[in-house]
Chains A and B, each alone.
Chain A
Amino acid sequence: MNAPAVAAPMPVLDGWFTLDAERPQLLGNRCARCGTVYFPKLKSGYCRHPDCDGDAFDEVPLSRTGTLWSYTNAAYQPPEPFAQVDKDAYRPFAIAAVELAAEQMIVLGPVVDGVGVEQLKVGMTMALKLEALADGKLTWKWAPAGAMA
């Protein structure tokens, strides 16, 4: 007898991050010539560094943790394609800009449910997590590293 199939959660964007439930990572790519990292992955095939002729790229997972550069929230429900809920059911969520030291870049993302702006402070360490949007699709989110198991 077969157990009923449980559908694996689908990512909101294919190939943008690993689906490792414990230690997810964003997926970028890196110019083999100058080392510049791109997130999202550069698809043109030509490095954007003005002095670099690089045209070969390797997929790289980005650092799982970084420093909170700044933060805000969405007090009103963002418009589509953000997955909509009833106006009354909408709860503001925080948004973080996190600086990754190795990649020397800042990456935005929503903050995990239950962590509001009052719990955030510029300079704190943030870690990557996966969490579902209202339509069940998984996205990357940032969480204060202290809150991680």
Chain B
Amino acid sequence: MSRDIAILGVGMHPWGKWGKSFVEYGVVAARAALVDAGVKWRDVQFVSGAATIRNGYPGQVAGATFAQALGWQGAQVNTSYAACASGSQALAAARSKILSGECEVALVIGADTTPKGFLKPAPGDRPDDPDWVRFRIGITNPTYFALYARRRMALYGDTLADFAAVKVKNAAHGYTNPNARYRKKFTAEDVAASAMLADPLRLMDVCAVSDGAAAIIVSSVDYARRLGKAGAPRVAAVSTVTPTFASALVEMPDIATDSAIAAKAQSFRAALPAKAYAEAGVDPADISVAEVYDLSTALELDWIEDLQLCPRGAAARLVREGATTIGGRVPVNPSGGLACFGEAVPAQALAQVCELTWQLRGQAGARQIDNARVGITANQGLFGHGSSVIVKR
């Protein structure tokens, strides 16, 4: 029996800093996805919302908030919180509902409005809160990305030019993407001229935060057939595994790894796509396109290896050879990635699936990849959350 579900429609609200409510962005994305699917809002039986905790009420009740804004019509509802993987977890909830026969067609939706200024912990002394502790001694988010980047330089000989090449590639990819926030081509010289943020990473190596929304209409394969959409792209795997003790990497917001005295150290990032490959019965060699979470340029290189698109340590060479550029062997972040979007946490994992859907349908315009058949996403966020989704046609 097929474990696939069909992607009938996708829609996004462009990323940016628009100063509006996340609800408005979500409605725009949902309506676009419904039109794309040819499904009436009244026919949607399940609304699966991806939540952010940043905006408080009603951000915490994402599913119901969007259902009300679209017009209450009695659909069942669910809200998922999984940090950067919230969108994938919402997709997983819809998939379970569809595969169990509890519903046939569902709306999966995530939207965010970012707060002004830099993220920092709430005031007050909280020595038991690792997030408070690390800021107290001066460790911010870019610290972690920079530690991983420097480690690559020491282990594999990656250079600042390699990291800049990722930014230049993603900027070129996102240049024509109407949903991208930053649509400007950059050169390696531009990256090298930007201010140092956390050595070896410069401001242009690290992504921003944005407002944005993404929505997907998914259904059973039978429902898709009845709509005349038997050939619609399918979701073949949704991996939302947690880490396995002991952690091999210091992860935000911690100040230490687990001790590997009594258990082998494990890579969380590598575990996420491994589960997706097993679930879909897909081999890394089958992948035609990948959308990965480039919180930093160097992190995109880590993801390429975690996705097993090349051996450990060979990702920079892949980028240098142009293999990850549109037109190359396995294009990475054809959307432009976080470099061109900025992160809109609960929408981002769904935006990755939207891009794969357009690529697999041949509707990606100037950024279209030839004959894209199987795509994979990967992302990781706080608190042991992460995801990897495989879409195929």
Residues of chain A at the chain B interface (Cβ within 8 Å): 12-14, 31, 34-40, 43, 48-52, 69-76, 78-82, 93, 95, 97, 103-110, 117, 122-123, 133, 139
Contacts and interface: CB of A to CB of B under 8 A. Distances in A.
- Chain B interface: which size bin? 35 or more
B138 A95 contact: yes
A72 B197 CA distance: 10
A95 B250 CA distance: 13
A75 B130 CA distance: 22
Interface string B196-220: 1111110000000000000000000
Contacts of A43: 128
B243 to A, nearest CB: 11
Q: Which of A43, A105, A110, A133 has the most CB of B within 10 A?
A: A105
Given A105-B257, A117-B199, A70 B265 contact: no
Contacts of A12: 136-137
Nearest to B126: A81
A35 B138 contact: no
Interface stretch (B116-124, B173-181, B356-364): B116-124
Nearest to A137: B136
A104 B261 contact: yes
A72 B257 contact: no
B280 interface: no
A37 B123 contact: no
Contacts of B250: 97, 106, 108
20 contacts: A13-B127, A36-B262, A37-B261, A40-B133, A48-B258, A70-B154, A73-B198, A74-B143, A75-B198, A75-B199, A78-B135, A79-B135, A95-B143, A103-B259, A104-B259, A104-B261, A106-B250, A106-B257, A109-B137, A122-B151
B185 interface: no
B377 to A, nearest CB: 27
A39 B256 contact: yes
B285 interface: no
B223 interface: no
Given A71-B147, A75-B196, A52 B139 contact: no
- Give the top 10 A-B pairs by smallest Cβ distance, nearest first: A72-B146, A122-B154, A79-B120, A104-B260, A34-B262, A70-B151, A37-B259, A70-B147, A105-B259, A78-B138
Nearest to B125: A81
Summarize B's interface: helix, strand, loop or mixed. loop
A97 B150 CA distance: 11
B258 A105 contact: yes
B227 interface: no
A81 B121 contact: yes
Contact of A79 (B140, B151, B196, B198): B140
Interface in B230-288: 244-246, 249-250, 255-263, 265
A78 B139 CA distance: 7
B148 interface: yes
Given A78-B135, A117-B199, A72 B261 contact: no
B1 interface: no
B255 A52 contact: no
B41 interface: no
A104 B265 contact: yes
B261 to A, nearest CB: 5
Given A71-B147, A76-B197, A109-B137, 9 more contacts: A34-B261, A40-B255, A40-B256, A49-B245, A70-B148, A81-B123, A104-B260, A105-B259, A109-B255
A43 B130 CA distance: 13
Contact of B139 (A35, A49, A95, A106): A95
A93 B138 contact: yes
B295 to A, nearest CB: 15
Contact of B154 (A80, A123, A133): A123
Nearest to B153: A122
Q: Which of A51, A104, A106, A123 has the most CB of B within 10 A?
A: A106
